[in-house]
């Protein structure tokens, strides 16, 4: 009987991992509406990663696969395989301890952290959150992001798109130019993470270590660097705005203080030991968000409109819910589908085998909230939604939450 098994997952924690198929794709914060390709092979009782390494538990496999797919680290003289549109799909990405390497992420990402890189060339095409770059020397960066933050960087060049003011701290010899280059599909990647290519404050630098605003630690040069087209020549998407051509976001606050930078609390250090979540929490309290283009779908709307296009599906953890997104009316529209309450959820999973828990919970959500939203024939991949449900039941992924 189900009740005689030694462990049972509950909404709060997972004591055993669901034996999902070993060829499932790595856990993702967001999944696109189209099914992802499998990256692993199936072996009885094992979870096999993309490079062939085997694991006994799903959690160990997931952590390794996240490192394998969304991290570049500890290499010298390496040209990494290009991450193309759909390869990263809104995940957090990390780079660390690289020397004389070339790295390209031509896709949408969440937060990006780059630490201790020397003489590297890096391309980041669409980060919807902050890009933290720390302890880097002699590097060239092509970056499109919500906000750029540097700490302890020296003699680095930037071809930059930033939707808010870039921030530097204890850094010098930094050169900023407008973003030049791109890739086919960059505009779609940027808009998927709420970046408007026409709003570019690449020139609005705030230096924590230059109270007199002498500009001694950086240069703003209104001449683009040589364009970088990592996937072949494409259209220039990011607007190459002129310095001082628009009001900086921080001057729009109500404190009357003018351009005092993106924070009024003095210096903030982002050390290598600072977690991505802690760093982003600091930034979120300082930097103004981009103009919102996401609307929650009201409860009285019973089904998606005929002209909406299924966009992506994600999860929240507090409270747990599925976040279904559509594109329509020039906005992103989101429908939140809550998980069952704790007692109801516990009852659902108590009567099924461990590998059937996610399916039981998803079936309940479909019955409760209607197949018109969770229509797997028209909209989202059922396999991917099941994987996200399973992530919530196990307590969430090892990366930052949505």
* HEC assignment per residue over the chain: CHHHCCCCCCCCCCCCCCCCCCCCCCCCCEEECCCCCCCCCEECCEEECCCCCEECCHHHHHHHHHHHHHEEEEEECCECCCECCCCCCCCCEEEEEEECCEEEEEEEECCEEEEEEECCEEEEEEEEEEEEEECCECCEEEEEEEEEEEECCECCEEEEEECCCCEEECCECEEEEECCECCCCHHHHHHHCCCCCCCCCCCCCEECCCCCCCCCCEEECCCCCCCECCCCCCCCCCCCCCCCCCCCHHHHCCCCCCCCCCCCCCCCCCCCCCCHHHHHHHHHCCCCCCCCCEEECCCCCCCCCCCCEEEEEEEEECCEEEEEEEEECCEEEEEEEECCCHHHHHHHHHCCCHHHHHHHHHHHHHHHHCCCCCCCCCCCCHHHHHHHHHHHHCCCCCCCCC
* The pLDDT of residue 66: 77
Encode pLDDT of 132-159 as tens digits: 999 999 999 999 999 999 999 999 999 9
Give me the tens of pLDDT residue by residue for the chain, a chain 402 residues long.
333 333 333 333 333 333 333 333 333 333 333 333 334 444 445 788 877 888 888 778 877 877 888 999 999 999 999 999 999 988 889 999 999 999 999 999 999 999 999 999 999 999 998 999 999 999 999 999 999 999 999 999 999 999 999 999 999 999 999 999 999 999 999 999 999 999 999 999 989 888 788 889 999 999 999 999 999 999 999 999 999 888 776 543 333 333 334 433 333 444 445 555 555 555 444 443 433 457 888 888 888 888 888 877 777 766 788 888 888 777 788 888 888 888 888 888 888 887 788 899 999 999 888 788 888 888 877 877 887 787 777 654 433 233
Report the predicted TM-score, pTM, of the whole model to 2 decimal places: 0.56
């Amino acid at each position: 009987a189900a009740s005689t098994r030694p462990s049972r997952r509950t909404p709060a924690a997972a004591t055993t991992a669901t034996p999902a198929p070993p060829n499932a794709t790595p856990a993702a914060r967001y999944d696109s509406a189209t099914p992802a390709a499998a990256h692993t092979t199936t072996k009885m009782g094992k979870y096999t990663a993309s490079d062939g390494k085997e694991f006994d538990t799903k959690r160990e496999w997931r952590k390794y696969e996240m490192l394998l797919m969304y991290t570049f680290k500890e290499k010298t003289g390496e040209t990494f395989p290009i991450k193309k549109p759909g390869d990263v799909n809104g995940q957090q990405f990390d780079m660390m301890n690289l020397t004389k390497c070339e790295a390209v992420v031509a896709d949408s990402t969440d937060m990006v952290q780059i630490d201790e890189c020397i003489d590297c060339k890096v391309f980041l095409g669409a980060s919807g959150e902050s890009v933290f770059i720390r302890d880097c020397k002699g590097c060239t960066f092509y970056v499109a992001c919500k906000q750029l933050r540097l700490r302890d960087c020296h003699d680095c060049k930037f071809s930059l798109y930033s939707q808010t003011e870039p921030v530097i701290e204890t850094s010098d010899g930094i050169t900023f130019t407008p973003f030049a280059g791109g890739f086919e599909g960059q505009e779609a990647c940027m808009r998927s993470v709420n970046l408007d290519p026409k709003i570019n404050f690449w020139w609005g630098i705030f230096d924590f270590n230059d109270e007199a605003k002498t500009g001694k630690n950086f240069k703003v040069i209104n001449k683009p660097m040589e364009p970088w087209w990592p996937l072949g020549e494409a259209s220039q998407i990011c607007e190459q705005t002129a310095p001082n051509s628009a009001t900086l976001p921080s001057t729009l606050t109500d404190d009357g203080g003018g351009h005092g930078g993106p924070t009024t609390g003095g210096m903030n250090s982002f050390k290598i030991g600072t977690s991505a979540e802690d760093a982003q929490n600091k930034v979120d309290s300082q930097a103004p968000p981009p103009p919102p283009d996401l609307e929650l779908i009201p409860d009285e709307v019973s089904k998606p409109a005929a002209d909406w296009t299924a966009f992506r599906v994600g999860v929240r953890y507090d409270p747990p819910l599925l976040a279904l997104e559509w594109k329509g009316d020039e906005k992103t529209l989101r429908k939140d589908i809550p998980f069952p309450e704790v007692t109801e959820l516990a009852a659902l999973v108590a009567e099924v085998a461990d590998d059937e828990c996610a399916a039981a919970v998803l079936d309940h959500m479909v019955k409760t909230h209607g197949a018109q939203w969770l229509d797997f024939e028209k909209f989202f991949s059922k396999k991917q939604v099941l994987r996200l449900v399973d992530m919530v039941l196990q307590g969430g992924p090892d990366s930052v939450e949505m």
